[in-house]
Amino acid sequence: MKIRKKILPLLLLLVTALLAACGPNSRPAETGEASASGKDAVLGSSREVLRIVSGSENSQLEPLLQEFANQEHIQIEMTYKGSLDIMRLLGDEEIPYDAVWPASSLWISTGDTKHRIKHAKSVSVTPVVFGIRQSLAEELGFTDREVSVDDLLQAIQSGKLRFCMTSATQSNSGASAYIGFLYALSGNPEVITSEDLADDQLRTDMRNLLSGVDRSSGSSDWLKDMFVAGDYNAMVNYECLIIQANQELEEQGKETLYAVYPYDGLSLADSPLGWVDNGDEKQEELFLKLQEYLLSEDIQNQIQRTGRRTGYTGISEENRDVFRKDWGLQPDRVLSPIRMPAADVLFECLDLYQTDFKKPSLNVYCLDYSGSMSGEGNEQLVAAMEQLLIQENARKNFLQASSEEINILIPFNDRVLAFYTAKGSGQELEKLYDTIKQLRTGGGTDMYAAAERGLKMLEQYDLSQYTPAIIILSDGVSSGSFSDFEEAYQELGQEVPIFSIMFGDADETQLEELAACTNARVFDGRENLTEAFRSVKGYN
């Protein structure tokens, strides 16, 4: 489903130059179809195919899956989606996969209302932890004692701690961490209820805690890549990805992260692999053979060497070198999963995160209205924006706006045509959609001018109070000057990701330039533009 083109050596040189030009916060962008959170993979070659939809964190296990595919002379197709996307998929009439592999059993139990998932077993376990720069963790006094969620909250409120985290409504690591925070700030009830969520102090504390989020992401794996390439103090992520980040940081000679396990709000990902019961006994037998392979002693040992645990009570002696204590890792820690709330309360939690608790988004949509977008292209654009701006639609994917959210529309062709601003989730947002429907296409393409105008408009806001992003849709080769945009970006003096959506005959090299310079990524909207917009919105 996700498509990523190979970048030619010339483009790699170009991206390298751009990284140097745009400063230490830069990274190459990932290009992919909208709803996928990692690069999809085809492992092995055969007419006999096992199709798996999985969380992006499992891409690290592809060598083991490749080994199985070769051994059994089959083909394994891995499609990567966020765990919440997998939950939604399980409610569809048809599930076009043989197996599901989300980060947590929560999404199977919540989404599988028709009870079509069989034989689900945990392949590995990893806690969701704070990874904090070693020197900052020492300054905060977090390296020699147990740390509570309230300790983290106090560090955030003092202005000493800021962090990166995936969206709780788009990714399991963010959702799991968020639910853990709720438990801790509610005084650790047996299970969270709607009454707990109504508590004024809890709401205040949660807003204060999430005010410390510097950057958000729709993918745990991409968050790790963004962090390693950037200049941030901390991130909330899976323990296994903190380990992987530290390995990469150490190789680059950068300061590593110290793992902090909030003892009163520690959540776990149990990585269940389950069979989609479609009545095909031959496919079921193949699935069970794969599951048996992954749970075998030798493969479990190899999985543990990737930084995943294979149980709740410790690490084997031969793998203790992976779980380094000087990185704050606790290989002997006994992991106790928190009890997840009932489905209706879980959805209430996610709604509150999106509309009340998280920092409001500040979205600048630079939308291509050049002549090449006329007809079907413009129709797809209008349909895609309908899913974001009409709140009844946005709510279905937990992408609804908060009362403080700002949305700015900058339509462009070979010049900026106008700009429109809407605050909140009410009539102003609906009017913005009406404007999009009424605008007409024509002329050439200059996305750089639109991006520059977006940067100028952001100067009006205190960006520390928002999660800002510029989102560009382009379907052609842009005129204008990247260097002029780069100068304007440096003058802004703050990191604002420029997410691009590739459509039609858009120049991928130009979009990669923008993403590489701003530590962002490119989404491929050529297969499904609506999914592309929905996915990019999940990144802020």
Around 333, how many Cα atoms within 13 Å sit in the side-chain half-sphere?
24
Tokens 């969270």, residue?
192
pLDDT at residue 82 in the model: 83
DSSP letter for each residue of 442-468: -S---HHHHHHHHHHHHTTS-GGGSEE
DSSP letter for each residue of 239-304: HHHHHHHHHHHHHTTPPPEEEE-BTTS-EEE--EEEEE--S-HHHHHHHHHHHHHHTSHHHHHHHH
Around 478, how many Cα atoms within 13 Å sit in the side-chain half-sphere?
34
Distance from C-alpha of 398 to C-alpha of 169, rounded to nearest angstrom: 6
Q: In degrees to the nearest 10, what's the CA dihedral of 369, 520, 384, 84?
A: 180
Contacts of 371 (CB under 8 A, 6+ apart): 413, 441, 442, 443, 444
Phi-psi region of 345 (alpha: psi -120 to 50; beta: other; left: phi over 0): alpha
**Amino acid letter, residue 42:** V
Q: Which two tokens stand for residue 294?
A: 């992954």
Tokens 């390439």, residue?
229
Q: How many CB atoms lie within 10 A of CB 151?
A: 19
Contacts of 245 (CB under 8 A, 6+ apart): 131, 224, 227, 228, 235, 237, 257
pLDDT at residue 181 in the model: 97
| Tens-level pLDDT at each residue, the chain (540 residues) | 333 333 333 333 333 333 334 443 433 333 333 333 357 899 999 999 999 999 988 999 999 999 999 999 999 999 998 888 899 999 999 999 999 999 999 999 999 999 999 999 999 999 999 999 999 999 999 998 999 999 999 999 999 999 999 999 989 999 999 999 999 999 999 999 999 999 999 999 999 999 999 999 988 999 999 999 999 999 999 999 999 999 999 999 999 999 999 999 999 999 999 999 999 999 999 999 999 999 999 999 999 999 999 999 989 999 999 999 999 999 999 998 888 899 999 999 999 999 999 999 999 999 999 999 999 999 999 999 999 999 999 998 899 999 999 999 999 999 999 999 999 988 999 999 999 999 999 999 999 999 999 999 999 999 999 999 999 999 989 999 999 999 999 999 999 999 999 998 888 999 999 999 999 999 999 888 988 888 898 888
CA–CA–CA angle 377, 379, 381 (5° rounding):
70
Measured over the CA atoms of residue 315, residue 317, residue 321 and residue 322, the dihedral's sign is negative
Nearest of 494, 502, 489 to residue 535 by alpha carbon? 502
Widest pairwise Cα distance in the chain: 66
Nearest of 158, 84, 111 to residue 354 by alpha carbon? 84
pTM (predicted TM-score): 0.89
Distance from C-alpha of 403 to C-alpha of 409, rounded to nearest angstrom: 18
DSSP letter for each residue of 152-192: HHHHHHTT---EEEE-TTT-HHHHHHHHHHHHHHTT--SS-
Around 410, how many Cα atoms within 13 Å sit in the side-chain half-sphere?
25
Helices 62-72, 297-304: axis angle to 10 degrees equals 150
Around 257, how many Cα atoms within 13 Å sit in the side-chain half-sphere?
33
> Is there a contact between 288 and 119 (Cβ–Cβ < 8 Å)?
yes
Contacts of 260 (CB under 8 A, 6+ apart): 129, 130, 131, 132, 137, 142, 147, 152, 328
Contacts of 13 (CB under 8 A, 6+ apart): none
pLDDT at residue 38 in the model: 52
